[in-house]
């Protein structure tokens, strides 16, 4: 199934997923909403990348576009996205359908509504296995059932044989999320996209679910894109973090480096508005202003310009690109004309102390 990856210079671990300069808009009655602009993203095999940003920053939109399940009003207006050599944006529908669930899988938030409410969870997993023809053994139905039990077992669901026949409403939120993960990982995908998988779960369950996902990811060397608005959570579990703002990717760095020396003014603000165990509520500082209205035709080139204290004419007219920086770390990229210095202080020491 894996087509040969494009050779990329001397990089030992070429990217599994590569997104270049992706532009996406929604056609609405009030005009076009520029949901994504010039987004760059790479994920390598086995890497856990966090995609963070406020609600409405385009994180989910990006993931839907990659999977090909965007809303009907969505239009890709530029850029590329390739996975294992396959062009995700232009490939034949059948090729993409083969990929979905098999090589690229997705886990959604609100697991109870994301599962078919009147279909037994075992049947739902079997549907995926059957679709990708991954049942073992000559007896198809037995094979499917075994496969489903195995999938449930791998996500640490106790008594999987009995749980096969459960309906989503009979399971707790945390259990439903495990089922979703089982569904997504049943075919051993190479890339897992987890869209806010812990929203709505209590803190203990959150940790359990995140441990499960990252544990399986490490075990299987599975690339993971972890979408969240919770910076602290991303700090705990991700190797690398990409920060998004209003449809633009503004900073891309290894976790430790991001927190030790955040370079984009937005990232800096985001970090200081995130509660950490050592800080106090009064030390939190919110990010000023709101996300710009993406329907505007007069958006500044750098979409953070109107919320940024150091923005000038250049920021408004020319979009800063996610370039390489001369940071200590191998890759710490920032899209800003006036980024903070590479070794600037002022980052949250507690968060910076965490390693990805």
Partner 1 sequence: MLRLIARRLIAAVPSLFGVVVITFILTRALPGDPAAYFAGGAATAEAIEQVRRQLGLDRSLAEQFLRYLGDLGRGELGLSLTTGQPVLTEIAQRLPASLEIVLVALVVACAIAVPLGVLAAVRQGSWIDQVCRVITTAGVSLPTFFTGLLLAYFFYYLLGWAPSPMGRLDPMFSAPPTITGFLLIDSLIAREGAVWWAAMKQLSLPVATMAIFVLAPIARMTRASMLGVLGSDFIRTARASGLTPITVLFAYALRNALLPVITTLGMVFGFMLGGSVIVEKVFGWPGIGSYAIDALTASDYAPVQGFVLTMGVLFVFVNLLVDLLYLVVDPRVSVDA
Binding site for partner 1 (CB under 8 A): 67, 69, 97-102, 105-106, 108, 110, 113-119, 127-128, 131-132, 167, 169-170, 180, 183-184
CB closer to partner 1 out of 8 and 119: 119
Question: Minimum CB separation from partner 1 for residue 108, in Å?
Answer: 6
Nearer to partner 1, 56 or 189 (CB): 189
Using alpha carbons only, what angle is made at residue 201 by residues 200 and 205, rounded to the nearest 5 degrees? 165
Backbone angles phi and psi of 238, in degrees to 5: -100, 145
Residue 178 or 263 having the CB closest to partner 1 = 178
Question: Which of 162, 188, 192 minimizes the C-alpha distance to 175?
Answer: 162
Q: Based on CB atoms, which residue is closest to partner 1, 170 or 312?
A: 170
* Smallest separation (angstroms) from partner 1 to the CB of 347: 36
- Minimal distance, residue 45 CB to partner 1, in Å: 21
Strands (DSSP E) contained in the chain are: 15-28, 31-44, 48-52, 74-83, 86-87, 104-107, 191-195, 223-228, 240-245, 248-254, 332-334
Minimum gap (Å) between residue 96 Cβ and partner 1: 8
Between 97 and 342, CB nearer to partner 1: 97
Q: How far is the CB of 176 from partner 1 (least distance, A)?
A: 11
DSSP secondary structure letters along 114-171: HS-TTS-HHHHHHHHHHHTT---SS-HHHHHHHHHHHHHHHTT-SSHHHHTT--GGGS
Is-contact 186 129, C-beta < 8 A?
yes
């Amino acid at each position: 199934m894996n087509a040969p990856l494009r050779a990329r210079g001397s990089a030992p671990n070429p990217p599994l997923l590569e997104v270049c300069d992706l532009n996406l808009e929604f056609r609405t009655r009030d005009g076009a909403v520029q949901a994504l602009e010039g987004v760059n993203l790479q994920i390598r095999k086995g890497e856990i990348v966090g995609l963070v940003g406020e609600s409405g920053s385009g994180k989910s939109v990006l993931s839907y576009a990659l999977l090909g399940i965007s809303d009907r009003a969505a239009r890709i207006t530029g850029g590329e996205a390739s996975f294992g050599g396959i062009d995700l944006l232009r490939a034949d529908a059948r090729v993409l359908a083969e990929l979905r669930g098999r090589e690229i899988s997705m886990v959604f938030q609100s697991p109870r509504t994301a599962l078919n409410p009147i279909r037994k969870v075992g049947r739902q997993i079997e549907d995926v296995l059957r679709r990708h023809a991954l049942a073992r053994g000559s007896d198809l139905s037995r094979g499917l059932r075994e496969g489903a039990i195995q999938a449930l077992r791998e996500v640490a669901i106790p008594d999987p044989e009995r749980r096969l026949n459960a309906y989503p409403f009979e399971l707790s939120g945390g259990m439903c999320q495990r089922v979703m993960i089982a569904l997504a990982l049943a075919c051993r995908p190479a890339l897992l996209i987890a869209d806010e998988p812990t929203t709505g779960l209590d803190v203990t369950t959150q940790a359990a679910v995140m441990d499960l996902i990252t544990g399986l990811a490490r075990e299987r060397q599975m690339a993971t894109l972890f979408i969240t608005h919770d910076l602290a959570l991303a700090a705990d579990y991700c190797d690398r973090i990409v920060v998004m703002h209003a449809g633009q990717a503004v900073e891309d760095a290894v976790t430790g480096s991001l927190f030790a020396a955040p370079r984009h003014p937005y990232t800096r603000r985001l970090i200081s508005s995130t509660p950490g165990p050592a800080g106090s509520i009064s030390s939190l500082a919110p990010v000023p202003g709101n996300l710009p209205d993406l329907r505007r035709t007069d958006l500044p080139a750098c979409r953070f310009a109107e919320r940024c204290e150091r923005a000038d004419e250049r920021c408004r007219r020319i979009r800063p690109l996610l370039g390489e920086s001369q940071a200590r770390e191998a890759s710490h990229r920032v899209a800003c004309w006036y980024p903070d210095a590479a070794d600037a202080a002022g980052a949250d020491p507690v968060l910076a102390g965490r390693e990805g």
